[in-house]
């Protein structure tokens, strides 16, 4: 099987935690532009009790039916480094089961709750057959808890289960940071953007204002960026091989 050469201006778009804005604002807007995206769903946080601020499983199904990727963000949104491999696997499988119950394909990609990744979890994800996994901006860049810059994804450098976030939206990450993140999408490197709620009603430290978000999407549309879900990386990167060893974390 052959893979496409990574073009310039390739951007992966991701949304964590299943905020209500995924369906009320983000997905309809992305549809207008024809952009792909991944929505990472967890039953942790207040997903099960606060249906004003979080999507329902029926709405997750609608996101899938609209062509977006549904990714695994675990059952309980725990720090995977504080879990045994068995606990971590059980949380992953619970999310798989929920997806199956709602006619959603078993997720091919994962993102680490709370931006916490570790080598043991990479081993578990490998055994489970996960194709790709997204982390935060650290350790290459410091994370000051309210958004920030990170490395662009370079398949020659980064393990496919430790794909970094290039831009983490939050109160401390603005238009200049957004443009900087996009500028990294060249020389076979891919920009990966992480958003939460637009707005994030329960978590102001990862908030993005809707007007600001629209400015970002307009900019990418006007400048002819290609916007994909994390699973779409399989066109460019072989998910069955590890081109890079698991680093010591
Ligand atoms: Zn999360």
**Which pLDDT value is given to residue 247?**
64
Q: Which residues face 194 on adjacent strands?
A: 14, 168
pTM for the model: 0.96
Residue 248 lies in a domain: no
Encode pLDDT of 73-106 as tens digits. 999 999 999 999 999 999 999 999 999 999 999 9
Residue 200 lies in a domain: yes
Distance 229 CA to ligand 1 centre (A): 17
Distance 61 CA to ligand 1 centre (A): 19
Q: Which domain holds residue 23?
A: 10-235
Distance 78 CA to ligand 1 centre (A): 9
Distance 73 CA to ligand 1 centre (A): 7
Distance 45 CA to ligand 1 centre (A): 8
**Which pLDDT value is given to residue 145?**
84
Residue 207 lies in a domain: yes
Closest C-alpha among 175, 180, 156, 140 to residue 11: 180
Distance 10 CA to ligand 1 centre (A): 24
CB 93 within 8 A of CB 130: no
CA 128 to chain centre: 18
Distance 76 CA to ligand 1 centre (A): 10
In the chain, how many domains are there? 1
Task: Say if residue 235 is exposed, middle or buried (CB neighbours under 10 Å; 0-12, 13-18, 19+).
Answer: exposed
Distance 203 CA to ligand 1 centre (A): 10
**Which pLDDT value is given to residue 204?**
93
Residue 249 lies in a domain: no
As a dihedral over the C-alpha atoms of residue 169, residue 75, residue 88, residue 78, rounded to 10 degrees, the angle is 50
Distance 5 CA to ligand 1 centre (A): 31
Distance 114 CA to ligand 1 centre (A): 5
CB atoms within 10 A of CB 107: 23
Listed in sequence order, the residues at least 6 apart from 56 whose beta carbon sits closer than 8 Å to its beta carbon are none
**Which pLDDT value is given to residue 246?**
62
Distance 192 CA to ligand 1 centre (A): 16
Per-10-residue mean pLDDT of the chain, 249 residues long, equals: 90 98 98 98 97 97 98 98 97 98 98 95 95 96 91 94 97 97 98 97 94 98 98 89 60
Distance 4 CA to ligand 1 centre (A): 31
Residue 240 lies in a domain: no
Distance 127 CA to ligand 1 centre (A): 22
CB 132 within 8 A of CB 163: yes
Distance 77 CA to ligand 1 centre (A): 6
**Which pLDDT value is given to residue 239?**
75
CATH number for the domain harbouring residue 93: 3.20.20.370
Residue 123 lies in a domain: yes
**What is d(CA 18, CA 200) in angstroms, rounded to the nearest whole number?**
10
**Which pLDDT value is given to residue 249?**
60
Residue 5 lies in a domain: no
Distance 205 CA to ligand 1 centre (A): 12
- SS3 annotation, the chain: CCCCCCCCCEEEEEEECCECHHHHHHHHHHHHHCCCCEEEECCCCCCCCCCCCECCHHHHHHHHHCCCEEEECCCCCCCHHHCCHHHHHHHHHHHHHHHHHCCCCCCCEEECHHHCCCHHHHHHHHHHCCCEEECCCCCCCCCCCCCEECCCECCCCCCCCCECCCEECECCECHHHHHHHHHCCCCCCEEEEEECCCCCCCCHHHCCCHHHHHHHHHHHHHCCCEEECHHHHHHCCCCCCCCCCCCCC
Residue 205 lies in a domain: yes
Distance 113 CA to ligand 1 centre (A): 4
């Amino acid at each position: 099987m052959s893979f496409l050469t990574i073009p310039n201006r390739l951007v992966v778009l991701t949304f964590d935690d299943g905020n209500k804005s995924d369906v009320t604002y983000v997905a309809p807007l992305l549809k207008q532009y024809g952009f792909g995206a991944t929505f990472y769903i967890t039953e942790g946080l207040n997903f099960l009790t606060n249906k004003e601020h979080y999507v329902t499983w029926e709405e997750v199904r609608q996101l899938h039916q609209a062509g977006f990727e549904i990714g695994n963000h675990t059952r309980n949104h725990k720090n995977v480094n504080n879990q045994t491999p068995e606990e971590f696997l059980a949380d992953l499988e619970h999310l798989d089961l929920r997806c199956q119950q709602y006619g959603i394909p078993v997720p091919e990609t994962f993102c680490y709750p709370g931006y916490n990744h570790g080598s043991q979890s990479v081993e578990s994800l490998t055994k489970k057959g996960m194709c790709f996994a997204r982390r935060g901006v650290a350790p290459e860049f410091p994370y000051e808890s309210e958004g920030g810059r990170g490395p662009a994804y370079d398949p020659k450098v980064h393990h496919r289960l430790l794909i970094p976030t290039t831009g983490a939206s939050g109160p401390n990450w603005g238009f200049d940071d957004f443009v900087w993140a996009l500028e990294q999408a060249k020389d076979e490197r891919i920009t990966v953007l992480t958003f939460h709620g637009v707005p994030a009603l329960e978590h102001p430290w990862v908030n993005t204002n809707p007007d600001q978000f629209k400015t970002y999407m307009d900019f990418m549309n006007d400048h002819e960026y290609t916007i994909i879900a994390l699973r779409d990386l399989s066109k460019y990167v072989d998910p069955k091989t590890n081109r890079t060893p698991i680093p010591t974390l």
